[in-house]
Structure 1
């Protein structure tokens, strides 16, 4: 028999969903049979499987250790998390509480995997939590921490990671409802003179990993996007711009700025290749100069008071700092 006491990372999900995570190799029919025969009980009573777990609940599995181990699939493999923590350099924790970790991602690192063999901030986050003792490998079977927002590989800046299930649910809700304000800084081509609100419709081409602004007959397929931007500092052939990402769609800022004739410096997908090449030769600019530099949280309660009305801000990367000293 195995006794499982539900903690805060396991609460909030149905009994059957939890059991699938705990013993991923078992079929649904097995769980429902065991529940029906009271070989699996909730707080000492028969359960159907659809009950919502709360912190402190106790599941008892009247099963042999051999059966449980067979359906669990053996020891959790943490190799890729440990590898990501060792290999992905330059990721910096800038804020942490019991539910959330916010990191500063360097350019060149994925937020989430694009292919099975990739290492990303997602794997780094789990590696970090294992390394610091916040969680152990046994907990990974029922909850895996993950990033809540994504940045392009070559975008610098702030990525929110959820340490707990409550953190994941709360951050996902805030981001979906656009209650977390997200600000970016970027160098763009030309002279930006004034603040402006940009709106449009965007379509993502998944096959080619490109986005497009659409109009006319294509309008029905587009997702509404909205960006507010204003100049911070002007230089000879470029402007340092701050933008608030009011909606959050793939490549939105890069596409919007290119669409008004102010492409992001270093952006080869939507930008000006010859201009980018010149900066690459002269200043070794090898990434798009786009940085998610500030997050502003709303008033929060229910265990998230530490983030309530908090503003998380990071310094601009060295590439930005260097160009800010050039004419």
Structure 2
């Protein structure tokens, strides 16, 4: 039964990865489509290619998968079961599909985290429990609190960086021929979009890898695998990544998110590319560059952030350089509510599904 559950979790995790790809395709292609630098199909093909290329950067350049490790460690291992992971995944898929249907660019990162935590809390029946005579928190707050804070910090950092990058570009290019400058910025958007897609792949594919890793670790411990039982809890994710049998999981996570991106998410592209503020090629370069820089910073710190939140903040930043009223704040406030509700709603859905699951398993 445990092996069957593990296989179901891996399949669902990769399905979530695919949904994440087309749900978040708008993040890296919205501005490049809005400015008509590429057609929608060309844009998703471009983004998908760099989403996959991020695997090689994480594997061979950075040399580790910090964000995957953070996701896997967001819940204390004493409260992780295969049923908990399954319930969290189902909740994340439901919320992602619901927000995609409504055209709301919510965070795949936070719905996954919320689902995972909600199911674990339902399993424990409280915020903490006694394990071997010690009271242990269900949630690993050292991992979760920075992620929660970056719901607000990531778009803010993206917004501030985009504002200053736009102002800098405008000052440097103030004497340039407008038509010639626009042609150059359209070419530069290819570069900035690629950079953002690399950040998106490196950030989001690892989250699914982290969930699969948590499931494999749980399965190995249940089976009494000597290597995993003997290893320190902080080292088990690295043991999973370096396990000869599971080598394909990181690669599959990056491949599937690339395929999902290739499918596109046109409702969200419309929201991101035109409803927040009208974007020019120059502003597209500034927004994507700021978003990419924010993603690289948080990936270095091992903090799973929302690429959706990051690029939305960056687009707002370039809009503010024109005037405050250039940003459609009504749309932005609706997005903010979706961001705030994602973790608690996903947690509730996961908790309910966990209780239903326990009736049948």
Q: Structure 1 length normalisation: TM-score?
A: 0.26
Structure having the higher Rg? 1
User: Which structure is higher in helix share?
Assistant: 2
